Structure 1
Amino acid sequence: MNYPQIVTREEWLNARKELLVKEKEATRARDRLNAERRRLPMVRIDKEYVFDGPKGKVSLLDLFDGRRQLIVYHFMFDPSWDKGCPGCTNLVDNIPGNIARLYEGDTSLVLVSRAPLAKLEPYKQQKNWTTPWFSSYGSDFNYDFEATVDGGEVPGVSVFLRDGEQIFHTYSTTGRGVDILLGTYNYLDLTPLGRQEEWEEALNRSATSVQG
């Protein structure tokens, strides 16, 4: 890749100030987007879903663990696979070991995969993960929330709100929409080399050509 241009400190400060204007606008745009996301309408969940967990069969309500909100990460693990998706593995590696702040926000976080629990548990132990992981094997959960599409697994996030025993689906995203959960990506985005992925190199070349 081409390294950034070498300039004087004054030139760098001028360029940094120009970028700061764009960064502040992006932050404000993100705040507006987050507010709009919170205003999305929601759907009542009337269907019963059963999951396999370390303590046996549990319901979607059980996954809340008494909290008002639930974030489900749809971890790609097809029943025929022996290992979990590398990309999903990277994402779970990015989950903080201490998510107490999330709990303070009355929110639970769990992983759900279509593979049987007998395959999930050894993989979880191998990776030394502590995030609760449940199997939706044999249920429609993955299909209903588009984590399995046309027979293939899709990474994604679904968010639920609980009011008493009533459950509502408030948000879902897939693909690049889960990038926000990847802490190391956010760190690498601050660096000159970035994530060092092919799609990113194309953007770098495009920006260089525009600048002259």
Structure 2
Amino acid sequence: MTTSDENGSNSGQRAMRTPPVVSQQEWETAREQLLVKEKAHTRARDALAAERRRMPWMAVDKSYAFEGPSGKLSLADLFDGRRQLIVYRAFYEPGVFGWPEHACRGCSMVADQVAHVAHLNARDTTLVFVSRAPQADIARLKARMGWQIPWFTITDSFDTDFGVGEWHGTNVFYRDGNRIFRTYFINNRGDEQMGGTWNYLDITPLGRQEVWEDSPEGYPQTPTYKWWNWHDSYVDDAPPDRKWVEVSDAGEAAFRNKPQT
């Protein structure tokens, strides 16, 4: 089978060889065969995240300064009182294609995909973007593009020291009292998967912090699903909503009792 336009021609383009059209039963069989591989991929991804949580840490002994909407901040300030910090270095500065109206197209696609940060905050995690653009330009860009992500200006060698002298990259840090540690880093195609809450948590040292995860002894873990909330309804240190616990428990029980194919 090949695809064509409404006139029956391919408009001079090479015909696209599409898969065969089959019955519902054949389609379900093919889907179940692929699902086996997809589940194996999910388990492998979970195992990789577990290994990532056991990565050694690197102490950050150098001081760094950033500019924010209200003035100067340190790297510790970017944590905003939380234990974990994810820093995406977005390529937005003079010389970048699109400047000053736009940031790098790839970095802008990443920003467009970022989920509401309240869910990360509920797991003791802060996400920020940093660039070399002045705050006035960042504020104008955020307003134009509708982005709510905290976004700060790099004023020193932070980007080059952490592997993103140009282009883009995501660094993860952990704060233990006054000490800060670099725990992970991704760039290039690794940044493609970023934006969703789960993928961000999976690159942090504490992970999703749910009881099913394979984490080192003593790591914080809470019952699966129970901490979830509407993004405008999180309350610091509040217990899980009783009604939601009942609903999620019922959903889990129904899934366990459902025949698995």
Instruction: Using structure 1 for the length normalisation, give the TM-score.
Output: 0.79
> Does 1:133 pair with 2:146?
no
Query: What's the CA shift for 1:73?
Result: 0.9
**1:47-81 Cα shifts (integer Å, max 9, x gaps):** 01000100100000000000000011111113333
What is the match of residue 193 of structure 1? none
| Matched-pair contact (CA < 8 Å) for 2:117–2:126 | no
SS of corresponding position for 2:81: coil
Alignment partner for residue 16 of structure 1, among 28, 31, 38? 31
What is the match of residue 87 of structure 2? 72
Query: What's the CA shift for 1:127?
Result: 1.2
What is the match of residue 227 of structure 2? none
What is the match of residue 205 of structure 1? none
Q: Which amino acid aligns with 2:76?
A: L
SS of corresponding position for 1:61: helix
What is the match of residue 154 of structure 1? 167
Distance in 2, matches of 1:94 and 1:132, equals 15
Runs (4+) off by over 4 Å: none
Distance in 2, matches of 1:43 and 1:162, equals 12
Alignment partner for residue 140 of structure 2, among 109, 119, 122? 122
Distance in 1, matches of 2:49 and 2:17, equals 35
Distance in 2, matches of 1:155 and 1:133, equals 14
Distance in 1, matches of 2:168 and 2:45, equals 22
What is the match of residue 94 of structure 1? 113
> Does 1:144 pair with 2:161?
yes
Query: What's the CA shift for 1:165?
Result: 1.1
Distance in 2, matches of 1:49 and 1:27, equals 37
What is the match of residue 165 of structure 1? 178
Unaligned runs of 5+ in 2: 1-15, 200-261
SS of corresponding position for 1:170: strand
Distance in 1, matches of 2:44 and 2:192, equals 17
SS of corresponding position for 2:17: coil
| Matched-pair contact (CA < 8 Å) for 1:72–1:110 | yes
Count of equivalent residues: 178
What is the match of residue 204 of structure 1? none
Q: Which amino acid aligns with 1:95?
A: V
SS of corresponding position for 1:19: helix
CA RMSD of aligned residues (A): 1.6
Q: Which amino acid aligns with 1:94?
A: Q
Distance in 2, matches of 1:182 and 1:68, equals 20
SS of corresponding position for 2:127: strand
What is the match of residue 127 of structure 2? 109
Distance in 1, matches of 2:174 and 2:141, equals 29
Query: What's the CA shift for 1:182?
Result: 4.4
**1:121-177 Cα shifts (integer Å, max 9, x gaps):** 21111112111100103x0001011111xxxx2211100000011100000000110
Instruction: Using structure 2 for the length normalisation, give the TM-score.
Output: 0.65
Identity of aligned residues (%): 49
Q: Which amino acid aligns with 2:70?
A: K
Kindly indicate which of the two structures has a greater share of residues assigned to helix. Answer: 1
| Matched-pair contact (CA < 8 Å) for 1:114–1:142 | no
Which of structures 1 and 2 has the larger relative contact order (alpha carbons within 8 angstroms, sep 6+)? 1
SS of corresponding position for 2:20: coil
Distance in 2, matches of 1:9 and 1:40, equals 46
